[in-house]
Amino acid sequence: MRNFYLAAAILGAVVPYAFFISFFLESGVDVQLFVAALFANGAAGGFTADILISSAVFWTYMFSRRNGPKPWLFIVLNLSIGLSCALPAYLYSAARHSGSSSTDPR
């Protein structure tokens, strides 16, 4: 499973950044426009709300773990790339930390 988590983290970094780079090349680095685009319509707003809620749950989970990786790197990944990179990167790190390759990262 560790290899899967690593591949998912890499894919989860590359795919969102392809969209982000396309947006910024087309629109420039306009943070207000970027945030407005996140809620441009019901579909975009729904996806954005889903990611925000899922990220909050992920952060709560990381901080509640006693024997897991320190959460700060994964928060930075979550904020700078997205949950699609941060979550599998955390699972990869947790699996490495436990020395197991099982599906349970504990």
Q: What is the pLDDT of residues 63-79, one digit of tens each?
A: 999 888 999 999 999 99
Q: Rounded mean pLDDT of the chain?
A: 92
Q: Which residues contact 75 (CB under 8 A, 6 or more apart)?
A: 59, 62, 86
Task: Say what the pLDDT of residue 104 is.
Answer: 53
| Per-residue pLDDT in tens (0 to 9) along the chain, 106 residues | 999 999 999 999 999 999 999 999 999 999 999 999 999 999 999 999 999 999 999 999 999 998 889 999 999 999 999 999 999 999 999 999 887 544 555 4
| 12 falls within a domain | yes
- Alpha carbon 27 to its chain's center: 23
Residue 49 belongs to domain spanning: 2-98
Whole-model pTM?
A: 0.85
Alpha-carbon dihedral angle through residues 35, 36, 41, 47, given to the nearest 10 degrees = 0
43 located within any domain: yes
Give the total number of structural domains in the chain.
Answer: 1
